[in-house]
Structures are given as structure tokens and as C-alpha cells.
A and B are shown apart, each in its own frame.
Chain A
């Protein structure tokens, strides 16, 4: 596979990750401890993979979610979701 092919596969897989993050965000009581850990883990992965695949905005937004306090998490998560939707096209 070429880099362009795996980049397209990564991009096409973003809609699934968007749905996963939105499920967490829409849970009653969000962010409880388990949702917080799960969302931070996903954000950490985007921090590492975004720029690697040519999407630096995902690295930046993922890093912000990973570093956000629980009080600031929803706003940071909204920015990550927006970046993901933009990248997914």
C-alpha cells in the first residue's frame, strides 16, 4: 500500500471515531471518570497519529483534549470533533 492509500483509509475511518466520541459526550453525567479516561485515550491517539497521516489539526486538537481539565473537556472535545469532521470531509 502507498502512503496515499493508507491516508485515505485513515480518513475514511474517522467517521467511526467521531460517532464513538459523540456517544461519550452525550452520555448522562459526562464526563465521569471512565468516559474521561476513554476520551483522553482516543485524544492521545489522535495527538500521535494526526500529523503522521497529514492532519496536523488532529494532533493539535487531540493534545488539547488530553490536557484539558474535566471542566474544560467539553469545549476541547467539541474542537476535536469539529477538526475530525473537517478532516473526514
Chain B
């Protein structure tokens, strides 16, 4: 049994995608959403509160997506947080590389703002972590 997907940290440097991403996830999807502009901001935000899922761009200033994922995996507190990449560069090699680095999935940009929450919920049902309380 999966624990429900409730909270998402969106890490994205493009202000236009931040706005439509928040709408898609919070208003349409009903998730609790925080937004950060790059990986460095995300690591700081994660020090305060852990989300169920990190949804992250690949190309970002200061600290990009793969470097942020590596930092998350290197810290025992954040190592198990599922990370999904949201990227405009979804060639098979890039997707394979991100998966090898520990991404749960890679979603393409552009995306459907009205359907993103459904995609994430379906993905969570298949790939998300088990509910530890239910399995204990």
C-alpha cells in the first residue's frame, strides 16, 4: 500500500513554469506545494521541511538538477525522497542518465497543466514508496 502523495517541492528557475506549475499542482491537483528557483534554494528548503516528492528541472543556475539529486542522495535525511525531473530535454540518453543517478521518473516539458497532477498520482501509485505505517 502506498502512502498518499500530498506535498511537492517544485524546483524550477523559469518564472513562467513556476507559475503554471504551482497552478497545476496546487490549484488543480490539490497538493501542498513549495517552489524554489534552483538546487541550492531547494537544499535550504529541505533542511526546514521534507516533502513527499521533489519535482525538479534539469538545467538551472547555481546548482542544476543532477547535482541537486546527488546532494540529496548523499544526505541520509533526504536520500530516500523520490525525485522526478521535469525537463525540455527528454532524449533517451538524458533520461537513462537521470534514471541511473536515482531519479524516479523523467517527465517532459511542455506539459498539460490540467493533467500533470494525474500523471504524478499514477506514477506515485506505481513507483512511489510504500506506506511504512501500513506495512509495519
Contact = CB atoms under 8 A, between A and B. Distances in A.
Interface of A: 1, 3, 6, 9-10, 13, 44-45, 47-53, 56, 59, 63
Interface in B56-109: 59, 87-88, 109
B93 to A, nearest CB: 16
A49 B113 CA distance: 11
A6 B109 contact: no
Contacts of B23: 1, 3, 6
B59 A49 contact: no
B88 A48 contact: yes
A11 B109 CA distance: 18
Interface in B97-126: 109-114
B49 interface: no
Contacts of B88: 44, 47-48, 63
Contact of A3 (B110, B111, B114): B114
B127 to A, nearest CB: 23
B113 A47 contact: no
B134 interface: no
A50 B14 contact: no
A19 B93 CA distance: 35
A45 to B, nearest CB: 5
Contacts of B109: 47-49, 52
B114 A48 contact: no
Contacts of A51: 110
Nearest to A13: B16
Contacts of A48: 14, 17, 87-88, 109-110
B59 to A, nearest CB: 7
A48 B88 CA distance: 5
B110 to A, nearest CB: 4
A34 B27 CA distance: 38
Contacts of A10: 16, 19-20
A47 B114 CA distance: 19
B118 to A, nearest CB: 15
A47 B23 CA distance: 19
A9 B18 CA distance: 13
